[in-house]
A and B are shown apart, each in its own frame.
Chain A
Amino acid sequence: MRTAAVPIYAWLSAALLAALAAPACAAALEVTVTGPDNEPVPGVAVYVMQAGRDAAAEPAAAVMDQRGKRFEPHLLIVQKGATVEFPNSDVVAHHVYSFSKPNNFVLPLYKGDPHDPVTFAHDGIVTLGCNIHDGMLGYIVVVDTDLFGVTGADGSLRVELDEQAGAATVSIWSPRIRDRHLSRVVSATTPAISFTLDKKLRPPHDSGSEALQWSDY
């Protein structure tokens, strides 16, 4: 039986098209966080520092909203140098601040969105509060990489590593986690990594609890 010969250039162009469609140098890494009870942990900040990888030139801007006397999202992760807008979608006024140096800032009492976005020029955890509503609590995780995200309901997050760059350090953070040393080094082609926490998680923060509130101005 005769079969049609496929010329070598056809293979090459197919390979080239495939490479253009999905860069051959990217390798997906799935990061999963599970608690001591083996339950997935959502809402965990995940960030990856990979040696020899080119970071995005312009950090993406983000929004930290205030709704129902809560920061929304409760935890936001941004790249160092990113700007974050703090609109107030509530009927009541808020007075947003953070004392987390050197990213500390104050947005005096406001409704709507009268303030300029805040630029976070240093990496680290920025704890947010409202001077009127003590129960309001939020976090911004500022990281020196563009490979980051927050775990979903299944406790996992996919990031795209550069296959041709060096080893990657994967770190996680959440205010609910008590474990320490939550960084692991993986090779550029590792398909998945799982963080299993030893210590019981702290209960999730409830911003809405009335007794914490100073007044309802």
Chain B
Amino acid sequence: MVGLLNGRLLPLLGAVALAPAAADADEAGRYRLVAGLDLSHVDASGHPSWLEGSAGKLRYDADNDGVLLSRGFVDYGYRLADTVSAKLNAELYVEDFSSTLDLTEAYLEWRPVPRSANRYTLKAGIFYPRVSLENTDAGWSSPYTLSSSAINTWVGEELRSYGAEFAVERRPALLGGRQRIALHASLFYNNDTAGGLIAWKGWSLHDRQSRIGDGVPLPPVPQIQPGAWFDEQDPFITPILEIDDTWGYSLDAEWSLDQRLLVRLTHYDNRTDPFGYEDGQYAWETGFDQLGIKASLPGEVGLIGQWLDGYTLWGRQTNGIHAVDVGFESRFLLLTRPFDRQRVSLRYDHFEVTERDSIPLDENREIGHAWTLSWRYVLNEHVTFAAEWLEITSERPAWAYFGLAEEKTERQLQLTVRLGFSRR
């Protein structure tokens, strides 16, 4: 699994290499390429990071901060036909537990020309479920902050749909109206381990997205140690894996008024059999509902809010109780305002995990909140400067398993230069 390049990337690299020649020959502009490389100086303090084999909520810790290459991404789209596009997203991380570059999304999208006021779209492949209202830029980046909210960080860690998504969008705007209504439905596969990180690690805030080939580290919780109850679990989670051969689904309804207000309701259910187990990975039955809001406030202030409420459970039932059964909930509110080429954003996150089982030594409760203050300055199309202050205060009794304080305020300052390249 560990290596510089993953075999899946050969088609992507080939396409990227050939694209300029193809585009020159084709006046209609068939491809779009956006790439970025984040060089950062990070100063972190808190528990040792979960990505370094411990349980802290940040991506970095005091031993792993400093000057580093925090992230690279390639967002590539190619139009195969007038109404069919292929899209590939890849992320680059310099880590020792996974390959350097791998895909996060790869799908085809068909947008037939509307024959009525309804627009239909069909997407098939590997893609993010429609949860985030933050990660709208190329490479699933956020235009507001470097680190995603707790909710969308989790989406990046554990959720990916292998399947198809169908959308119908009613655009009464074409008739002079100001409203737009859209319904999306998707059927997906390969997301049976989603929920494991929420239960055993809890919420985090960072900018790392799991890639298709990734196994992301689980904290060394006692329940998965040799001889313990769940010792068949690998010390890592493979977020993208099918175990029980059952499709999951998600549905969402969205309503918007001009560019002023957008409301989205989402229901997600991976319909996983919680007794499933395969090759060191447990299957987690995970479902949630979400309310998302995006609004333009007076004074050029933008507001984004998401509120997600769900549950995840695993294992045999004893007296009606699953081996692991937790509820999770998070909400955030982000305010952002552009100042010409600069942007300032402030976000407050609240998150918690509640225990619904009573298995000893499987303590998964947590409660916490985070403040994120971010500034960015787009110097030109190739250089963006960003600075972000992130402070997470939380209480997680399971930290005592590692000899760490159960209550902790973790802080991270990240200064980033994003070198960007785009061709469209």
Contacts and interface: CB of A to CB of B under 8 A. Distances in A.
B111 to A, nearest CB: 6
Interface stretch (B22-30, B306-314, B352-360, B401-409): B22-30
A112 interface: yes
Given A92-B29, A92-B424, A131 B85 contact: no
A129 B29 contact: no
A106 B113 contact: yes
A93 B83 CA distance: 12
Contacts of A209: 258-259
B113 A95 contact: yes
Interface of A: 91-93, 95, 97, 99, 104, 106, 108-112, 127, 129, 131, 134, 137, 175-176, 202-203, 205-206, 209, 211-212, 214-217
Interface centre among A109, A111, A206 (most CB of B within 10 A): A109
Given A109-B82, A127-B175, A134-B171, A217 B116 contact: no
Given A108-B82, A112-B27, A202-B177, 5 more contacts: A127-B174, A131-B113, A203-B178, A215-B32, A215-B77
Interface in B32-75: 32
Contacts of A214: 111
Contacts of B82: 95, 108-109, 131
A129 B114 contact: yes
B173 interface: yes
Contacts of A99: 114-117
Given A99-B116, A109-B28, A217-B32, A131 B111 contact: yes
Contact of A93 (B29, B77, B117): B29
Given A134-B171, A175-B176, A212 B79 contact: no
B28 A93 contact: yes
B173 A137 contact: yes
A27 B420 CA distance: 63
A23 to B, nearest CB: 39
7 contacts: A99-B116, A127-B174, A129-B174, A205-B173, A214-B111, A216-B32, A217-B29
Contacts of A176: 176
Contacts of A211: 259
Contacts of B28: 93, 109-111
A139 B393 CA distance: 55
A68 B85 CA distance: 22
A176 B173 CA distance: 11
Nearest to B79: A217
B85 A217 contact: yes
Given A131-B83, A203-B258, A217 B111 contact: no
A137 B387 CA distance: 38
Interface string B143-182: 0000000000000000000000000000101111110000
Contacts of A110: 28
B34 to A, nearest CB: 9
A160 B282 CA distance: 81
A151 B174 CA distance: 22
Contacts of B29: 91-93, 111, 217
A104 B116 CA distance: 10
A33 to B, nearest CB: 16
A205 B117 CA distance: 17
Nearest to A176: B176
Contacts of B424: 92, 216-217
Contacts of B79: 109, 217
B191 to A, nearest CB: 25
A101 to B, nearest CB: 9
A91 B287 CA distance: 44
B161 to A, nearest CB: 19
**Considering residues B27, B113, B115, B178, which has the most beta carbons from chain A within 10 angstroms of its beta carbon?**
B113
Contact of A202 (B27, B31, B117, B176): B176
Contacts of A134: 119, 171
Contacts of B115: 99, 104
B167 to A, nearest CB: 11
In order of increasing CB-CB distance, the 10 nearest A-B pairs are A175-B176, A93-B28, A109-B82, A97-B113, A108-B82, A209-B259, A93-B29, A131-B113, A111-B27, A217-B32
Contact of A212 (B113, B177, B259): B259
A99 B119 CA distance: 11
Nearest to A109: B82
Contacts of A92: 29, 424
Interface in B228-274: 258-259
A205 B180 CA distance: 14
A202 B32 contact: no
Nearest to B115: A99
A206 to B, nearest CB: 8
B178 A217 contact: no
A91 B28 CA distance: 9
B113 to A, nearest CB: 5
